[in-house]
A and B are shown apart, each in its own frame.
Chain A
Amino acid sequence: MKVIRSIGALALLCATAVAPALAQQAAPKPPKPQISETTKQKAAEENANPDALVLADFQKRVDAYLAIHKEAAKDAPALKETNDPAQIKHAQESLGAKIRAARANAKQGDIMTPEIRNKFRRLMYPVVQGPSAQGTSGSAKAVKADVKDELKENSEERKEEGGKPVVLKVNATYPPDTPLPSTPPQVLMNLPKLPEQLEYRIVGKNLIIRDIDANIIVDFVPNAIQ
């Protein structure tokens, strides 16, 4: 009787211990497409792919930001090679200030609208979470593991080496003493191209669009990695 009881206890112990590990290993489900009624209607009228319209909308919003950036850059001191770091910092801060002034009312979602955010989560899912990753070479599984490792390393490095936490806020400065997490190439391959003034960075589970020379957060996708 005691033997049966012990075996039962063992089975229960194993089940309890393994279940969380299995749950952790299981890939989260891919985000479901969320296309607005307006986009759906437009897609129907134009006989277009709704996703293509979402990406075109993203491009349009990025272009609008870029116009602001270029206009601000005209009035700001030029970023050019110099022996004086103060001049670089001054130029960077002036550009940032002019952009902030020009889009003083900017808020999260101006560029990354809900349907664009959803599209980005869907674009990132295959390389960071999905069961079949897309990479340039190597097995899909290996590439996905690499991307995950890289993201984990970024996060650990930030904790280890300090720096101020990144405040996810439109127009906020990216803290200059905080490491810039490297963006996995596979993620970059899957996302729409940005103009040279902007870049994607993954901070924790969030994707930010950063203005490189102004060092400001232009917009972001919270929980881009779910």
Chain B
Amino acid sequence: MRRVFLFVLIPVAVACAMPEASVTAQTQVAAQTPVAAAPAPQSVPAGKVILPNKAGSIKFAVIGDTGTGDKHQLAVAKQLAATRSQFPFEFVIMVGDNIYGGNSSKDFENKFSTPYKPLLDGGIKFYAALGNHDDPSERFYKPFNMNGERYYSFKPADGVRFYALDSTYMDDKQLKWFEDQLKMSGSEWKIAFFHHPPYSSGETHGSDETLRTQLEPLFVKYGINVVLTGHEHFYERIKPQKGIAYFITGSSAKLREGNIKPADFEAAGFDTGYTFMVVEIIGDDMYYQAMTDSGKTVDSGSVHRVGKVEPTPNRTAQPIVPTTGNGKKLPPAGDRK
């Protein structure tokens, strides 16, 4: 009789003692059920760029969470330079955490000018956004092309405008600046880049929902097409949210292995190696390819936008054709080696 009671009592007592844990466990089970079969990853020879590489197109690279100065940053930087020999990108977007731990001359040398020397020598411009590990005084470092501002915009070529935001301090002043800039914008591609991701499957950080609350209405209203972020130390492509394509490239020097947890909004993810992206814009199409430090392609595809986008009040989504891609959606964490 006592044994029977113990059988009944122990599970009940455990459930009483951990009300939250039992709910979480149910949620995790539901979330780990794959929504669809993972597409087969494309087989691309190492180091090969499969973007159209068309003359006159807008070509750039994206790196994030770079400033360690360690062998991983150097390996990614080396592959980035090698990639440029076949895909001549003209500038590099840095999505924050550009210089970790200190801001001495040695730090800038070891964590920026030495790793990217071949690119800098080749006249490649870098455009940085501030991350939470960056001293805001980095905005005065000329090679970061921030014009002394924590947030800024630039137009590297006709047809595209970039907006660098400081997501560590999204105050009214910055939001007003951003909205004013967007109001003045034309029909070009509008790409925002900053550090904290509004959507992320990361177990460590996850989506920055407060930031999303602030920014997403502006993205939608004024026609931001693409958002590039970092902070999470992995690569991830998010399914278009309200017509906006989101990418995370936060593993260009740091890596959190196995940190992507299953999420419905994840389109592709890679959390077992160091990555960067190369991107090409041709007319209303943006082609992307995410590669590792050994040149392996982990995701690629394109985003198509529907021509001219004017600011529209009460818009709920952008007229963008959903991102196509052939990267691998990660299996549930428990099934990964």
A interface residues, Cβ below 8 angstroms from B: 2-3, 6, 9-10, 13-14, 17-18, 21, 79-86, 88-89, 91-92, 135-138, 142-143, 146-147, 149-150, 153-154, 156-157, 160-163, 176-177, 179-186, 188-189, 193, 196, 199, 212-213, 215
B211 is contacted by which of A10, A179, A185, A193 (Cβ under 8 Å)?
A185
B27 within 8 A of A: no
A176 & B135 in contact (Cβ 8 Å cutoff): yes
B210 & A143 in contact (Cβ 8 Å cutoff): yes
B196 to chain A minimum Cβ distance, whole angstroms, is 7
B172 to chain A minimum Cβ distance, whole angstroms, is 7
B121 within 8 A of A: no
A179 & B5 in contact (Cβ 8 Å cutoff): no
B140 & A13 in contact (Cβ 8 Å cutoff): no
B319 to chain A minimum Cβ distance, whole angstroms, is 23
A183 & B208 in contact (Cβ 8 Å cutoff): no
A10 & B9 in contact (Cβ 8 Å cutoff): yes
Q: List 5 A-B contacts (CB under 8 A).
A: A13-B17, A80-B140, A150-B208, A161-B100, A182-B196
B13 & A13 in contact (Cβ 8 Å cutoff): yes
Q: With A17-B17, A146-B213, A186-B210 in contact, do A81 and B142 touch (Cβ < 8 Å)?
A: yes
Number of interface residues of B (CB under 8 A): 50
B interface residues, Cβ below 8 angstroms from A: 1-2, 5, 9, 12-13, 16-20, 100-105, 107-108, 132-138, 140-143, 147-148, 167-173, 196, 204-206, 208-211, 213-214, 217
A135–B170 Cα gap in the complex (Å)? 14
Q: Which residues of B contact A150 (CB under 8 A)?
A: 208, 210
B137 & A3 in contact (Cβ 8 Å cutoff): no
Q: With A185-B214, A196-B173 in contact, do A163 and B209 touch (Cβ < 8 Å)?
A: no
Closest to A12 in B: B13
B140 & A185 in contact (Cβ 8 Å cutoff): no
A82–B138 Cα gap in the complex (Å)? 10
